[in-house]
Structure 1
């Protein structure tokens, strides 16, 4: 019964939307300036000559929405630890402790990825770990990539940059400081400011997820250390 009520409300809302849409189209035609060749009939008004024409592209409206939903789904699967069965990355040690600057969520993402996709165990105490991953910095970056003829921003380049190193429980360096840079391009339109702001946030999360996977691949490539 509840579903039927909701369906009824949706139908009513749809009818109201159609009425608003029809009214908007009529008002738009009323605003068109008179010119030569204007013809009227019972159903349509056709304006030829000097006139303003409003064109709304459904595809243009849906593009940022679909991109937002696709990125959201991808990040949700990543956050839940989604991976293909049997794809376990072998790390050269059995246990690891992860540190990161306060306020950064990348430590949580790295720990989750290690638990889900590797053979190593994440431990809370550094003295009990064979290896310690120190994430020294994680920075979001943004710069203008291209401008229109009128000087308006057409594209931004987003960047996510982190630096990290690997040490043992005694502080001896296993792998030196390495920097990982991930970039994405964000097309920009003034008419879609809110949608683009949400897309930008999702792209930063996507870049962080990409950086996490790169960290794990680089750790997996390290040769066994005597402390292991």
Structure 2
């Protein structure tokens, strides 16, 4: 009986998580691009991570030219600053920063002209284990690169929705104006 109760409770928890809209990072609808083709230009790790994030999507094709959406990674940089020191003056924590600048166009029209993403993480530093510290720093930067690629996808989706809503509103206003002029009686 307790096993059956545990199973029911576990099943109930899983169903409630699914019902509330919970998704693992990068798996929700915001991470899905609503375009058929996309082009990513620019070198560096940010462009590579963005390409990887696009390749795994079923509905989008990564192309090298003539894309519906074109993303250009303008610049990326990473650095670190001392966050805290111990009583001996040795560094205990660093703040690792990662920044990406990008532009995006939709049907050759500017969509995002100067996109900036700035991320930071805290790095615990141990003076006795320098190699592990450098490895951890590399892992943090890679994680921030992946996170920035997902943020770029979300920003492109949000900007495109705004453009589509504005175009739909303009079309609706134009059709309402033409309908009103067709209904209005003409004066001789």
RMSD over aligned Cα, in angstroms?
A: 2.3
Provide, for residues 80-103 of structure 1, a one-character-per-residue CA deviation record: whole Å limited to 9, x for no partner: xx975x868443432111111x4x
Match of 1:146 among 81, 84, 87: 84
Within a 5 Å distance, the mapping from 1:193-204 to structure 2 comes to 193-204=130-141
Specify the alignment match of 1:180 in structure 2.
117
SS in 2 for 1:186: strand
Pick one of 113, 117, 127 that aligns with 1:190: 127
Q: Which has the larger radius of gyration?
A: 1
CA separation in 2, counterparts of 1:150 and 1:89? 46
Residue 156 in structure 1 maps to residue 94 in structure 2: yes
- The answer to whether the Cα contact below 8 Å between 1:91 and 1:118 also exists between their aligned partners in 2 is no
**Which string of whole-angstrom CA distances, capped at 9 and with x for unpartnered residues, describes residues 109-157 of structure 1?**
11121121363221112xx211110111110111101111221111000
When you count strand as a share of all residues, which structure comes out higher? 2
TM-score by length of structure 1 reads: 0.55
Q: How many residues align?
A: 139
* Alignment partners' CA distance in 2, 1:190 and 1:150: 12
Distance in structure 2 (CA, Å) of the matches to 1:118 and 1:218: 19
Q: Distance in 2 between matches of 1:173 and 1:87?
A: 24
Does 1:93 pair with 2:30? no
Q: How do 1:73-92 and structure 2 match up within 5 A? A: 89-92=31-34
Question: Is the 2:32–2:153 contact (alpha carbons within 8 Å) kept by the matching residues of 1?
Answer: no
2-structure distance, mates of 1:180, 1:119: 25
CA distance in 1, matches of 2:37, 2:86: 52
CA distance in 2, matches of 1:90, 1:213: 9
Query: 63, 79, 90: which one pairs with 1:123?
Result: 63
- Residues 1:219 and 1:144: Cα distance change in structure 2 (over 3 Å): same
Partner Cα separation in structure 1 for residue 53 and residue 127 of structure 2? 37
Correspondence for 2:49 among 100, 109, 127? 109
Native 8 Å contact 1:131 1:166 kept in 2 = yes
Show structure 1 runs of 4+ deviating over 3 A.
86-90
- The runs of 5 or more residues in structure 2 that have no matched partner are 1-24, 168-188
Task: Provide the secondary structure at the position in 2 that maps to 1:117.
Answer: coil
Q: Which residue number in structure 1 is paired with residue 75 of structure 2?
A: 137
Alpha-carbon distance change, 118 to 87 in structure 1, aligned in 2, over 3 angstroms: farther
**What is aligned with 2:10?**
none
Alpha-carbon distance in 1 for matches of 2:116, 2:72: 12
